[in-house]
Amino acid sequence: MATLSADVLICGAGPAGLVLGNMLRAEGIRCLIVERQSRAHVEQRARAGFLAANSVRILTENGLADGLHANGLTHDTCAFRGDHGEFELKYSGLGRGEMHTVYPQQDLVRDLVKEFLDRGGEILFSTEVSEIDAEGASLLLGDGSRLTGQFVAGCDGQHGVSRRAVPARVYQRDHGISWFALLAEAGPSVSAVLYAMHPNGFAGHMARNATITRYYLQVPKDFDPRSWPDERIWDELRLRMRTDQYGPLRTGRFVERRIVHMTSHVMDPIQHASLFLAGDAASLISPSAAKGANLALMAAETLAKALAGQINLGDSVPLKSYSAEVLPRIWRAQEFSHWMINLLHSPSGNDDDAVFLRSLQRARLESLRDSRAHQDHFAENYVGI
């Protein structure tokens, strides 16, 4: 027979689930996190590292930012390089005057796991959830046992079981673009986040810290990440980043290679009965504007406050309006991400359509370079949500 396991059952020990769990524990709410991967895996998984001002606020206000403040690096400049030349935007002096804090996600997850356990929370690592009963607020585990609670939070990403338990319309778009994502044991070659446009395709440079840099290369959808040796990759990065004009790249061993397809989806609604979705379970956004983790933290904050209001105060209004509160932020982030995709990518070839779209891309870049109003709008959406 099922027994009451916790007030809130949380699927997934990523940033959304861990911030949610920590905030609930601070309110005295019993919560249990179930994670299909091992602790070592989630604490070593390299993902996004650019935290927006709102994310830093959430972590700081909830006592979750000691590591970030001790070891994070502020960042406020991006550069655009192409056949138009190069220009930089120091976005901390534009828009709302906000900047990013660079703190690798695996470091943040380690901090959040430790704090959650210190606050008396429990995490079941290496535990598969095979089914969610949203009506009964219960989880069926892979071993046949069942956990029950009052509410379930689905924070288990795009491939988890949570999103399948919500009867919702899913809005999807395949942008037809793929990135070869690389993590190199190499210090930054430029101080800015670099977006390089080239006839061969887009290339990106995003430093994670003084010794690790994230690189991206636009590749065909069927590209095999094992097909290029290291030197072939560095040659392509040098070509697309025009190092003959702007200076060399610092090289090192690649410690990660994977393919990222530019796809987007949004579920509506993101709640059903006792089940509420946050993070990539609710919406998947392309990495072109570093919004995924930041959307996840904001949703976690909203959900934590709503659940605490319901459980501790009997106020059901915020929980009922969770989807209405979170979805507009998701769509605004999706719109900016879609704009960034069109800014950074253009088709090859010399047919009329390709030339037309490349001309539009150049016009967008020139407007971003020359228009203060355009720059303010970019900065507000690049850092904020």
CA–CA–CA angle 203, 55, 149 (5° rounding): 115
Confirm whether 291 is a catalytic residue.
yes
The 3-class SS string of 257-270 reads EEEEEEEEEEEECC
Which pLDDT value is given to residue 384? Answer: 83
* Residue pair 295/283 in contact by the 8 Å Cβ criterion: yes
Q: How far is 51 from 341, CA to CA, in rounded Å?
A: 20
Average pLDDT over residues 275-279: 97
Instruction: Average the pLDDT over 353-363 and give the result.
Output: 91
Residue 102 has pLDDT above 60, yes or no: yes
287 is catalytic: yes
Average pLDDT over residues 99-120: 95
Average pLDDT over residues 212-235: 95
Which is the catalytic residue, given 15, 75, 205, 322? 75
According to the model, what pLDDT value does residue 331 have?
96
What pLDDT band is residue 209 in, cutting at 50, 70 and 90? confident
| pLDDT of 39 above 90 | yes
Marked catalytic residue, from 100, 291, 338, 345: 291
Overall average pLDDT of the 280-297 stretch: 90
C-alpha to C-alpha distance for 108 and 118, rounded to whole angstroms: 15
Rg of the chain taking only CA atoms, in angstroms: 21
pLDDT in tens, 146-155: 999 999 999 9
Out of 100, 104, 188, 195, the active site residue is 195
Average pLDDT over residues 114-118: 98
The pLDDT-based confidence of 1 (bands split at 50, 70, 90) is very low
Q: What is the pLDDT of residue 4?
A: 58
Instruction: For residue 258, give the nearest of 176, 158, 182 by alpha carbon.
Output: 182
Q: Measure the CA dihedral 366/371/376/379, to 10°.
A: 10
pLDDT at 288 over 90: no
pLDDT band at 210 (very low <50, low <70, confident <90, very high): confident
CA dist 138 and 288 (Å) reads: 36
CB 152 within 8 A of CB 193: no
Percent of the chain with pLDDT over 70: 99
Euclidean distance between CA atoms 152 and 7, whole angstroms: 9
Q: What per-residue string of b and e applies to 72-84 under the rule 16 or more CB within 10 Å gives b?
A: beebbbbbbbbee
Can 248 be counted among the known catalytic residues? no
User: Alpha helix (H) ranges present in the chain?
Assistant: 15-26, 39-44, 53-61, 66-71, 105-118, 230-240, 243-246, 292-308, 317-320, 322-344, 352-370, 372-383
Q: Given pLDDT bands bounded at 50, 70 and 90, which one contains residue 3? A: low
The pLDDT of residue 84 is 85
Tokens of 89: 């935007």
State the average pLDDT over residues 320-345: 96
Percentage of residues of the chain with pLDDT beyond 90 = 88
Q: Residue 155: its pLDDT value, please?
A: 98
Confidence grade of residue 11 (pLDDT, cut at 50, 70, 90): very high
State yes or no: pLDDT of 48 exceeds 90.
Answer: no
3-state secondary structure of 193: strand
For 136, the token pair is 């009964």
Per the annotation, the verdict on 90 as an active-site residue is no
Sign of CA dihedral 347, 225, 155, 162: positive
Q: Could you identify the residue written with the tokens 């061969």?
A: 200
Type of residue at 163: R
Could you give all domains of the chain from N- to C-terminal order, each with its CATH number? 3-75+97-172+264-338 (3.50.50.60), 174-262+347-383 (3.30.9.10)
Cα angle 103, 298, 46 (rounded to 5 degrees) comes to: 30
Q: Please tell me the total number of residues recorded for the chain in this structure.
A: 385
Asked if 59 contacts 22 with a C-beta cutoff of 8 angstroms, the reply is no
* Catalytic residue (choose from 272, 287, 322, 345): 287
* Mean of pLDDT values over 19-34: 97
Q: Cβ-count burial of 116 within 10 angstroms (0-12 exposed, 13-18 middle, 19+ buried)?
A: buried
Rounded to 10 degrees, the C-alpha dihedral 310/314/316/319 comes to -10
Of 9-23, 45-59, 297-311, 369-383, where does mean pLDDT reach its minimum? 45-59
In 253-310, which ranges are continuous DSSP H helix?
Answer: 292-308
pTM beyond cutoff 0.85: yes
Q: Could you confirm whether 322 is annotated as catalytic?
A: no
Catalytic residue among 103, 215, 216, 382: 382
Question: How far is residue 44's CA from residue 39's CA, in Å, rounded to a whole number?
Answer: 9
Tell me how far apart the alpha carbons of residues 337 and 288 are, in angstroms, rounded to a whole number. 6
Q: What does the DSSP 8-state code read for residue 126?
A: T
pLDDT in tens, 243-273: 999 999 999 999 999 999 999 999 999 999 9
Cα–Cα distance measured from residue 228 to residue 205, given in angstroms and rounded to the nearest whole number? 19
